[in-house]
A and B are shown apart, each in its own frame.
Chain A
Amino acid sequence: MAPKSDLLQGTLDLLILRTLSGEPMHGWGISQRIQQVSKDVLQVNQGSLYPALHRLEQQGLIEAEWGSSENNRQAKFYQLTRDGRKQLAEETRNWERLAGAVGRVLAGL
């Protein structure tokens, strides 16, 4: 298991929560969506994605349900819980504050 910094793990959690804020999605969909929206800048490693999903589920931030996918196969769909929405709002604010701060420091130099 490669060590992950808190920043990376926290960021992945944030990305997952944000991606799920619209509609329920399965793991594959989440990874595709993140890659697509970030214009291939962010590639989610499956080895990190699934542990993260299960961790978030254990924390009660997301919940899962089996359903049919686009191609009519059974897939596990994740969606945000109320706690998850709260967490997303908070993490987004934190991220914006951090990004803003880093931006200001960079601009200032």
Chain B
Amino acid sequence: MFRRWSVRFGTLFRRDRRERELDAELRYHLDMLIEQHVLQGMAPDAARREALRVFGTLEGVKDEVRDHWLSRFVEMAAQDVRYGARSLRRNKGFALTVIVTMALGIGANTAIFSVVNGVLLRPLPYRDSDKLVVLHHGEGDAVNNDMGFSVKDLDDYRRGRSFSDIVEFHNMFFNLLGRGEPERVSTGVVSANYFDVLGVRPLHGRTFVAPDDAAGAPAVLVLGHKYWERSFGGDPNIVGQVFRMNDKPHTVVGVLPPAPQYPLDVDVYMPSSACPFRSSKQTVESRQGRMLTAFARVQADVTLEKSRADLAIAAAQLAKEYPADYPQSGFRAIEIPLKEELTRNFRPTLWILLGTAGFVLLIVCASIANLLLARMVRREREISVRAALGATRARLLRQLLTESLLLAVTGGLLGLVLSAFTLKLLTTFTERFTARAHEITIDLNVLFFTLAVSVVTGLVFGSIPGLSRRLDMAPALREGGRSSHASQRLRSVLIVAQVSASFMLLIAAGLTLRSLMNVQSLNPGFRTENLLTLRADMSFDRIPLTTPPREARARRSAYWTEFEERLKALPGVISVGGGGTFPLNDQNPFPNGFEREFHPALPGTPPPQIAFRLATADYFAALGQPLVAGRAFAATDSVDAPSVGIINQSAARHFWGTDNPVGSRIRGRSNLGGRPDDNWTTIVGVVADVRQQLDRPPLDEVYVPVRQSPFFGTTWIVHSRLTIEDATRQIKAAAREHDPELPVTNFRTLAEVRSTALAPRRVVVALIGSFGLLALVITAAGIAGVIAFSVNQRTQEFGIRMALGAGRSRVLGLVVREGLALVTVGLGIGMAGALALTKLMGAVIFDPPMPPIAGIPGPQPLALLVNGTPPTDALTYVGVAAMLVVVAVIACLMPASRAASVDPMVALRAQ
């Protein structure tokens, strides 16, 4: 076996010996032949001549033998590469143009693919991650109506056989005390098995063990890697340190490795027993206290289908067993692979980006093929000579393909380098959509993708001109040989293809840009100038959890009222509004069921849904949200006064129609049809609508006074004449004076919030837009090239025309018309394609919005084409078409002016 391979590959090496042996072998044969002739009686000279006649030339036989050596193939390839490189070096301009064009196309594709790879293709960095699923349960489409899980829900689902374990997660903000300034930390409250089920090992210390989760166990914390580095400078001695949180000592037991955290990047983790809410009696015992997200690991030997079926059965049993706690119609539970869940909202955007990048590559391909075609014509003579000297058609084709591949791979590698520069930007962009953003790198997959795409691209653009031309001696050495009509037609077809593809790309760019402009110019319904927002979170230990609810409410109310007064008293402050959140805050308020007095919902139908929000008396004034009927809240709407509320116009229109809502009463009502709330709220006013998200219509809202429903966490809006820095400093001082352990965080101006809210859209627009521009430039260069070439071919014709009296402008027009004819055909095809494509794109983009994972504000998929920009927007179509025509005319003018300045005498004499 070894011998056999050594024979086979031996031809690759020891070339001289091989050649010597071949020579000796053939010479022996020749000698024997001569000897034979001599024996038959020929004179030695004659015998030799005769032998050579029979034998043919020694070299010819040798060459045929060499064809069967493996080394032959490699040798020819090396020769082709050498020859190709030499010929490209001689045409630096051509080579550079192709390589740069290629690099841009490959760079765009590699960049987008690295995102696809990091976010969609790579397995999650968890053990057996394809067995990890996220659970949802709710009415109808359980994913979009997920009601979250209660502790009791999970206890029951855990009894199923198909999961090896279920873990819970919910996100809370707590104040971490014990190190100077109070720090507000995002906390993941999890079951003790959380890290084991995901398969995450600690970097320092340990993760949680079962006893940590027992009721009354000493509170422990595990730090997230980023928080640990940011706040503790990566000090490994942090393990064992004690901090105060929620009025209890919490000991740090471990630090996580830098792996990405799902479902949310939190600062610290605590076991469920340490969370005052999660461990409270109400939460543990109420089947309806649904605040949890649940993941599960499917047993190794159970398929996803089987576990899905088991889960559905378990849900049906629960609904039957506890009719008061589950919707009685259409309730179901489903599981979704974790990997899929994490990227649900990003996928449509990503596919569109990949598609547009693909279009760029197609245009690049067509453009380079065109350049090669032009070059082929110039090389006709060279190719004819090589064919005449015995190069076979296959050999010539191989030579041409080698050159194309050389260009493609060089361009591809350059593109890879270019794409590396975009990674940071893309990661920041992706962060807004999925927790996997930080997994975007250039790994082996990406390298392989780049190489494969480069090679395929090279083969495609290399074989278009190669196959189009008859690589033989037909046009051989013909003096003044002109390119055949077939070649010119092919070049026109390529230009038409480029124009139509560019048109489609530019339409996509134009539509997304138009819709961004629409959203940007949209009146959100509130003021964004000179408004500073901030969060203030009262420590839970300010009011012990054992305090009777009524008293606790009164104390919280007083706490926030005093804080509000302090802010108002600051010099330069015009007004101060407080609430639970502020517009554009990414937080989706949970809609609640409600009932209007004297208008009960029909039995068996779910109650109408309305979003509950908090507001202080001055909230609307500070935000500039006008009151359209009734009154605003007043100081008299205190804890002990009758409950009041203010609805927005949208709710008034939907639920009151022509009735006057002011003076009517509503009360909360569970979606499950249980007993309604006893406490009626009187509607005292109606405010104008604001957009909570710029690209969604306003929600139906009801505001209730902060004084009557004081929460622990609040958001404040300060309208002032101060600079941000001054305001921030003064507010912090006021807060410290109010309560040294009150953290005030997230200082942002509303203008900034508004601009950030549009950032992902802007990046998408910028990406598609730059792809479009790239396409435009490449196409313009292509048009200029083709027209220049055709002008070259028609020099004599122009000379004759001018000799016969055609003016300069007439020749100009002639050339430009030729270019515009191509562009017009391209525009027609592009328009049809764009209409079809945007229809498809629309279908992808208008997927129903995804809900947040219970309690976690979910990223929204980009609705790229909303807000009054229909996919058939005439202005965009006309604008893009006009732009292409103008660019094409400019591209034609350069060669056209050359045509017009042809000296008739010179042109005719050249004949």
User: Does A47 lie within 8 Å of B61, measured CB to CB?
Assistant: yes
Query: Please, which residue of chain B has its CB at the minimum distance from the CB of A83?
Result: B4
Complex Cα distance, B25 from A51, in Å, reads 12
User: Does A28 lie within 8 Å of B32, measured CB to CB?
Assistant: yes
C-beta contact mask, A43-81 vs B, less than 8 Å → 1, else 0? 000110011001101101001001001000111100001
- Chain A residues, Cβ within 8 Å of B26: 46, 50
The answer, yes or no, to whether A41 is at the interface (CB within 8 Å) is: no
The answer, yes or no, to whether B843 is at the interface (CB within 8 Å) is: no
Complex Cα distance, B67 from A51, in Å, reads 8
User: Does A73 lie within 8 Å of B54, measured CB to CB?
Assistant: no
User: Does A54 lie within 8 Å of B3, measured CB to CB?
Assistant: no
Complex Cα distance, B1 from A60, in Å, reads 9
Complex Cα distance, B54 from A47, in Å, reads 9
Complex Cα distance, B69 from A51, in Å, reads 9
Within B1-39, the residues touching A (CB, 8 Å) are 3-4, 7-8, 11, 21, 24-26, 28-29, 31-33
The residue from A26, A50, A76 contacting B64, defined by CB atoms under 8 A apart: A50
User: Does A46 lie within 8 Å of B56, measured CB to CB?
Assistant: yes
User: Does B29 lie within 8 Å of A54, measured CB to CB?
Assistant: no
The answer, yes or no, to whether A107 is at the interface (CB within 8 Å) is: no
User: Does B70 lie within 8 Å of A58, measured CB to CB?
Assistant: yes
User: Does B65 lie within 8 Å of A27, measured CB to CB?
Assistant: no
User: Does A75 lie within 8 Å of B70, measured CB to CB?
Assistant: no
Give the shortest distance, in Å, between B101 (CB) and chain A (any CB). Answer: 39
Give the shortest distance, in Å, between A85 (CB) and chain B (any CB). Answer: 14
User: Does B56 lie within 8 Å of A47, measured CB to CB?
Assistant: yes
The answer, yes or no, to whether B805 is at the interface (CB within 8 Å) is: no
Q: Chain B contact residues (Cβ within 8 angstroms of A): what range?
A: 20 to 34
- Chain A residues, Cβ within 8 Å of B8: 58, 60
Give the shortest distance, in Å, between B882 (CB) and chain A (any CB). Answer: 59
The residue from A26, A50, A73 contacting B65, defined by CB atoms under 8 A apart: A50
The answer, yes or no, to whether B68 is at the interface (CB within 8 Å) is: yes
The answer, yes or no, to whether A37 is at the interface (CB within 8 Å) is: no
The answer, yes or no, to whether B421 is at the interface (CB within 8 Å) is: no
Complex Cα distance, B70 from A89, in Å, reads 27
The residue from A26, A31, A50, A60 contacting B7, defined by CB atoms under 8 A apart: A60
Summarize B's interface: helix, strand, loop or mixed: helix
The answer, yes or no, to whether A109 is at the interface (CB within 8 Å) is: no
Query: Please, which residue of chain A has its CB at the minimum distance from the CB of B26?
Result: A50
Complex Cα distance, B61 from A46, in Å, reads 8
Question: Known contacts A47-B61, A58-B11, A81-B4; is A76 also within 8 Å of B24 by CB?
Answer: yes
The answer, yes or no, to whether A106 is at the interface (CB within 8 Å) is: no
The answer, yes or no, to whether A1 is at the interface (CB within 8 Å) is: yes
- Chain B residues, Cβ within 8 Å of A31: 29
Query: Please, which residue of chain A has its CB at the minimum distance from the CB of B1?
Result: A60
The residue from A26, A47, A73, A75 contacting B60, defined by CB atoms under 8 A apart: A47
User: Does B4 lie within 8 Å of A60, measured CB to CB?
Assistant: yes
User: Does B64 lie within 8 Å of A51, measured CB to CB?
Assistant: yes
Question: Known contacts A51-B68, A55-B68; is A73 also within 8 Å of B28 by CB?
Answer: yes
User: Does B7 lie within 8 Å of A27, measured CB to CB?
Assistant: no
Query: Please, which residue of chain B has its CB at the minimum distance from the CB of A76?
Result: B25
- B residues in contact (CB < 8 Å) with A: 3-4, 7-8, 11, 21, 24-26, 28-29, 31-33, 54-56, 60-61, 64-65, 67-70
Enumerate 18 A-B pairs (CB-CB under 8 Å) in ascending A order: A27-B28, A31-B29, A46-B29, A46-B56, A46-B61, A50-B64, A51-B65, A51-B68, A54-B68, A54-B69, A57-B7, A58-B7, A58-B11, A60-B8, A69-B28, A73-B31, A75-B28, A81-B4
- A residues in contact (CB < 8 Å) with B: 1, 26-28, 31, 46-47, 50-51, 54-55, 57-58, 60, 63, 66, 69, 73-76, 81, 83
Given contacts A31-B29, A46-B29, A58-B68, 13 further A-B contacts (CB under 8 A): A26-B28, A47-B60, A50-B65, A51-B67, A51-B68, A55-B68, A60-B4, A63-B4, A63-B7, A73-B28, A73-B31, A74-B24, A76-B24
The 8 closest A-B pairs by CB, nearest first: A60-B4, A55-B68, A28-B32, A51-B64, A54-B68, A76-B25, A28-B29, A54-B65
